[in-house]
Structure 1
């Protein structure tokens, strides 16, 4: 089984994340997408970042009606700060029958050459890239790379930061969030 790993803080998860993940699983050879909730870095103070389990709960609520999309807390128990290469090694040991791939936006591909052990990641894992509107160009070393697959997904310019700020300003963000996520945020009074 081929699993696409979609990393993020998902603070909160929104319809843009779901559109990208669903498109990836429907229009590539990936069987499932795991939303890997990135834990709060204990060394960084970020008051707007909800607790790990609250964000995991939102991802669970957002994906529960999809057979091919799932939440993952795999990084919660790994030493911090964590690197993607460590998560991949851990997943390979835990699930030897699965093939793990990365999902990233084109903006992340631009700095991918700065990631810890990025060559090792590319040696052992496919990377599925979705388009983003962003400045600058992707490193030419990745042009035509056999492990990097560009998937022509819809360009989603919705951001969690925009949603959090809109909630703070008492704006209606309901259409931007999966229904179960909006209900949870509203009930818990998050980001107000």
Structure 2
């Protein structure tokens, strides 16, 4: 089975995340997309980051009606700070019959050469890249990255989403209605728990 790993803090998960993950699950050769909730880095200030299990709960609620989308807490038990290569190695040992790929935005691909053991990741895993455009600089990711044409890197023509978790958190803090931007069950949970207010 081919699994795409979509890493993020998902603080909170929103409809943009679901649109991208679902598009990749439906229009690529991947069987499933796992939302890998990244734990709070103990060396960084927490600021507005919710507890690991609260963010996992939101991902669970957001994906429960989608058979190809799954929440994943695999990084919660790995030593921190963690690197993607460690997660991939751990998953490959735990699920030897699965083939794991990475899902990332074009912005992350541009800095991918700075990742720990990036050559090893590319040697053993495929990468599915979705388009990202910054509102203040539409041409920011249009130039060809150094990995252009690499046989392990697949550019997916997913919809471009201009939504961010930061925008949603700020809107909630300002008392705005963010309901249309979130999966219904996530909005209900946020509202019930008074998160980000």
Work out the CA distance in 2 between the residues paired with 1:171 and 1:107. 29
Partner of 1:162: 167
Aligned-pair CA distance for 1:163: 0.1
How big is each residue's C-alpha offset from its partner over 1:53-106, in whole Å with a ceiling of 9 and x where there is no partner? 000000000000010000000000000000000000000000000000000000
Aligned-pair CA distance for 1:138: 4.7
SS of 2:55 mapped into structure 1: helix
Pick closer, same or farther for the CA change 1:150–1:47 going to 2, 3 Å. same
TM-score, normalisation: structure 1: 0.98
Work out the CA distance in 1 between the residues paired with 2:145 and 2:22. 27
The alignment status of 1:150 with 2:158, answered yes or no, reads: no
Work out the CA distance in 1 between the residues paired with 2:97 and 2:74. 17
The alignment status of 1:177 with 2:159, answered yes or no, reads: no
Aligned-pair CA distance for 1:139: 3.1
Partner of 1:14: 14
Work out the CA distance in 1 between the residues paired with 2:162 and 2:103. 17
Structure 2: tracts of 5 or more residues without a match: 135-139
Structure 1 vs Structure 2 CA RMSD? 0.8
SS of 1:175 mapped into structure 2: helix
Structure 1: tracts of 5 or more residues without a match: none
Q: How many residues align?
A: 191
